[in-house]
């Protein structure tokens, strides 16, 4: 849904209630857990958050609070949506003076305590999303070198005529989201420390 004004809580609630009755808008559900499918643009963003279990636990708390969406021009609604399979969430964003409202559903949750500890989740797009695809947000702690990473993996393609027409702008916005989401997670864990290098790969 596109509009010139930021959607009110009432309109977002109504929009999300309608979307919750619908199926996902793409067939390759869960592919962020294996191999992203062909015919989509794949974006991979990664940043080192620090070292040690305390950083790992702090990053999990930040992810549960949807800190990766606290960017000023993007937000998740409601911001206290539980990280649980089947939960629906709206993602609001603004670009070029236009607000867009998107609906997503949490598909799976990652909570692993193996050689590399991982916590995160993936959501997929519902029909009321301007794109079709999936995005996974993951925190990783590797005790072998004590490093903690924030990792985003997404595959997408346009699901709205205006998005197709303005796709170069959309792609810049997607890359911007990856960078700023990584920065937001780093700040949530480390405060005002300098942001390290953010790795972004597109396929």
CATH code assigned at 124: 3.30.530.20
The pLDDT, as a whole number, for residue 163 is 67
Tell me if 132 is assigned to some domain: yes
Q: Are strands 131-142 and 98-113 parallel, antiparallel or unpaired?
A: unpaired
Q: How confident is the model at residue 134 (pLDDT cuts 50, 70, 90)?
A: very high
Question: 192 lies in which domain range?
Answer: 2-26+38-202
Least confident range from 43-57, 91-105, 109-123, 133-147: namely 91-105
Contact 16, 87 (CB under 8 A): no
Q: Is the pLDDT of residue 1 over 80?
A: no
The pLDDT, as a whole number, for residue 162 is 66
For residue range 32-44, what is the model confidence (pLDDT) as tens digits? 999 999 999 999 9
| pLDDT (average), residues 128-136 | 94
Tell me if 33 is assigned to some domain: no
Tell me if 31 is assigned to some domain: no
Half-sphere exposure of 199 (CA within 13 A, CB side): 10
Half-sphere exposure of 24 (CA within 13 A, CB side): 18
Tell me if 85 is assigned to some domain: yes
How many structural domains does the chain have? 1
The pLDDT, as a whole number, for residue 164 is 67
Tell me if 107 is assigned to some domain: yes
For residue range 56-79, what is the model confidence (pLDDT) as tens digits? 999 999 999 999 999 999 999 999
Q: Distance between CA 93 and CA 6 in Å, rounded?
A: 9
Tell me if 17 is assigned to some domain: yes
The pLDDT, as a whole number, for residue 114 is 87
pTM: 0.94
């Amino acid at each position: 849904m596109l509009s010139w004004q930021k959607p009110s809580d009432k309109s977002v609630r109504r929009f999300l209630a309608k979307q919750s009755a619908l199926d996902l808008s793409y067939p390759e559900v869960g592919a962020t857990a294996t191999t992203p499918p062909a015919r989509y643009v794949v974006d991979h963003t990664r940043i080192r958050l620090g070292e040690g279990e305390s950083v790992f636990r702090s990053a999990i708390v930040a992810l549960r609070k949807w800190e990766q969406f606290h960017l000023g021009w993007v937000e998740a609604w409601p911001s206290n949506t539980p990280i649980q399979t089947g939960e629906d969430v709206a993602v609001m964003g603004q670009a070029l003076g236009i607000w867009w409202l998107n609906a997503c559903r949490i598909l799976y949750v990652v909570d692993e305590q193996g050689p590399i500890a991982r916590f995160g989740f993936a959501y997929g797009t519902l029909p009321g999303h301007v794109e079709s695809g999936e995005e996974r947000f993951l925190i990783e702690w590797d005790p072998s070198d004590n490093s903690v990473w924030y990792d985003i993996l997404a595959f997408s393609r346009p699901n709205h005529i205006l998005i197709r027409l303005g796709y170069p702008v959309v792609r810049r916005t997607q890359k911007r989201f990856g960078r700023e989401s990584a920065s937001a997670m780093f700040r949530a864990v480390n405060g005002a420390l300098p942001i390290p290098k953010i790795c972004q790969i597109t396929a």
